[in-house]
Amino acid sequence: MENQSDKFQQVISHTKEYGFVFQSSELYDGLAAVYDYGQYGVELRRNLRDYWWKSMVQMNDNIVGIDSAIFMHPTIWKASGHVDNFNDPMVDNKDSKKRYRVDVIIEDKAAQYEAAGDKATADALIASMDTMLTNADFAGLRQLLIDHKIVCPLSGTSNWTDVRQFNLMFSTQMGSVSEDSDTIYLRPETAQGIFVNFLNVQKTGRMKIPFGIAQVGKAFRNEIVARQFIFRMREFEQMEMQFFVRPGSEMEWYNHWREKRMAWHKSLGIDASMLRFKDHTKLAHYANAAVDIEYNFPFGFKEVEGIHSRTDFDLKQHQTFSKKKIQYFDNDLNEEGKPYGNYIPFVVETSVGLDRLFLLTLCNAFEEQVIPKEDGTSDSRSVLHLPAILAPYKVAILPLLKKDGLPEAARKIADELRPFHSIFYEEKDTIGKRYRRMDAIGTPFCVCVDHQTLTDGTVTIRDRDKMTQERVPASSLKEIIDQAVRMPIL
C-alpha cells in the first residue's frame, strides 16, 4: 500500500507546482497557516462553492442566501458566547517555547497507542481527557501529559507550563482615533451573520418555517496548531446554512440534513468507504445533537463538515442582548389542530469549510499513475480525477500542429464554446505533453483539431480518465460537455 504521508506530500507539491495553492506572502518567507489560491485553485474553489450554493439555494425553494459583513457589532460575539467560551486549552513547552492545543497532543498520543494495538489505553486516555475538558480541569489535563509521557515533538521533553485558555478570535479597532475606537472581532464563523438577519430575511422574504438561510464567506481563527497544509488555517472560508424549524421538530430535521449532507459529499464521487459520521459525545452547551462528517485524509479520518442541532440558543441570546423580540408567528396548525402562535425557532445548522473541502477534493482526485506500454516498459502521469463539474477547465482545445490552418480552426471552435464553458487553448509543445499538462490540472476533455477537421468538421475528444479518444463532430462538443457538468438532483 502506498505510504499515505508520501501521498500527502505529493498532493502538496502538486498544488504548488500546478498553480493551485501558494503559501501566503511566500516572497517574505510566508505567513503561517495562511494560503493563497493560484490560477487553477481559484477556479476549483469557485466551482466547489457554486456546487454547494446551487444544491442549497437553487435546488431548495425554502432556502435563501445572504452575504453579511465580516465586521459585526462586538456585542454579537458576547451574545454568541465566543468572547467568553471560544477558547482552546493550550500548553507551552518550556524548552522549545512552542505552544500546543492540549486536546490535539493528547489525541495524537491516543492514536499512537491505538496504532501499537493498545486500544484500551487509547480509549481510557480519550475518556479522561473528555471529562477534564468538560470540567475545565486544567491541572488534570497537565497531569495526563506527564503520566502518559507526552513530549514536545521539537524538544523531546515534557517540560510543560500550566494549561491555560486562549481565545481564538482576532480583534482589531474600529474608529478614527484610538481613544474612541471600539474593539471589534473578525468573525470566527459566518453563522452569527445569519442569526442576526433572521427577522430581516423572514419578513422581507415572507419565509415560512421550516426555511433556511445560507451564507458563504471568510472566517478567521487564531489557530495555534496550524498543521496539515490548508486543513487548519487562520483565514478560511465557511459555507453554512441555518435551517429554522418548529421547536420539537429539530431532531427530524437534524436527521434529514445529516443524510442530505452525506449524500452531497458522495455526489462528488467520494467513495462511501472514505466517509463516515462521527457523533459528538461531548455536546456544546447550545446543542442537543451534533455530528461530524469525516473524510479519510492521508493523515486519517478528520472532520470536513459539522451538522448541529443548535436549539433556540443563538436567537434567544440575541433577543436578550439586543433587547429586541426575535420571534416567529406561526399561523399553521400543530398536531392538536391549534395555531402555534409566537415562538423562537429552533435551528439545525450545516457547516462545511470550503478550504477543507478543497483539500478533500484534491486528495481524492490525485493519482500518480503508472501506464503500462505495449513494449513492456511503462510511462507515468500525475492526474487529477476531478468530477467535470469541479474541474478548473472543462475542455482543452489543442491544434495538432502549429501550422496548416489548424490553429485558426481550433481557435474558432474554442471561441464558439467559450460563452458556455471554461476553455483552455494551447498550441505549444507536442500533443502528448499538452495532454499530460491537462491531466495534471484535471481537465476532463482534450479536443484535438487535426487535418481531418478541416475537411469534415470532426475532432477527436480524449477522456482524461480512460485516456481513450473518439472522433465526433465539433458541433457536438457543447452538448457533450453540457451533459458532463450537469448538476445532479440529490
Residue of 221, 318, 421, 464 interacting with ligand GAP (CB under 6 A): 221
Strand blocks (E) in 48-127: 63-65, 87-92, 99-101
Residue 347 in the binding site for ligand GAP (CB under 6 A): no
Is residue 355 at the binding interface for ligand GAP, with CB under 6 A as the rule?
yes
Q: Is 223 in the site for ligand GAP (CB under 6 A)?
A: yes
In this structure, are residues 41 and 358 in contact, taking their beta carbons and an 8 Å threshold? yes
Question: Phi first, then psi: what are they for 461, rounded to 5°?
Answer: -120, 125
How many chain residues are in contact with ligand GAP, going by CB under 6 A?
Answer: 19
* Site membership for ligand GAP, residue 304 (CB under 6 A): yes
Map residue 37 onto helix, strand or coil: strand
Name the minimum Å distance from CB 211 to ligand GAP.
18
Closest CA to 158 of 108, 97, 93: 93
Per rule CB under 6 A, is residue 45 in the interface with ligand GAP? no
Q: Quote the least distance from Cβ 108 to ligand GAP, whole Å.
A: 17
Task: Indicate the residue among 128 and 350 with the shorter CB distance to ligand GAP.
Answer: 350
Those residues with Cβ within 8 angstroms of residue 89's Cβ, 6 or more apart along the chain or in another chain: 101, 102, 103, 133, 138, 141, 163, 164, 165, 166
Site membership for ligand GAP, residue 189 (CB under 6 A): yes
Q: Give the chain's length.
A: 490
Distance CA 383, CA 368 (A): 6
Decide if residue 88 touches ligand GAP (CB under 6 A): no
CB atoms within 10 A of CB 164: 14
Binding of ligand GAP by 441 (CB under 6 A): no
H helix or E strand, kind and range, residue 240: strand 235-245
Q: How far is CA 415 from the centre of its chain?
A: 33
- Answer for which of 350, 351, 364, 460 binds ligand GAP (CB under 6 A) is 351
Give the CA dihedral 450, 452, 456, 461, nearest 10 degrees: -50
Binds ligand GAP (CB under 6 A): choice among 79, 233, 245, 481? 233
Q: Is 306 in the site for ligand GAP (CB under 6 A)?
A: yes
Confirm or reject binding of residue 303 to ligand GAP (CB under 6 A): yes
Residue 212 or 353: which CB sits closer to ligand GAP? Answer: 353
* Least gap, CB of 245 to ligand GAP (angstroms): 17
Residue-by-residue DSSP string for 410-437: HHHHHHHHTTTS-EEE--SS-HHHHHHH
DSSP track, 151-213: --TTT----B---EEEE--EEEEESSSGGG-EEEEE-S-SHHHHHTTHHHHHHHTT--SSEEE
257 part of the interface to ligand GAP, by CB under 6 A: no
Alpha carbons 46 and 51: distance in angstroms, whole number: 8
Which residue lies nearer to ligand GAP by CB, 233 or 268?
A: 233
Q: Binding segment for ligand GAP among 259-267, 269-277, 351-359, 433-441 (CB under 6 A)?
A: 351-359
Binding residue for ligand GAP, selected from 238, 309, 311, 460, defined by CB under 6 A: 238
Pick from 187, 356, 434, 462: which binds ligand GAP (CB under 6 A)? 356
> From the list 43, 305, 314, 450, which residue makes contact with ligand GAP (rule: CB under 6 A)?
305
Nearest distance from C-beta of residue 32 to ligand GAP, angstroms: 12
Geometric angle at alpha carbon 382, from 377 and 383, rounded to 5°: 115
The contact set with ligand GAP (CB under 6 A) reads 189, 191, 221, 223, 232-233, 236, 238, 240, 303-306, 349, 351-353, 355-356
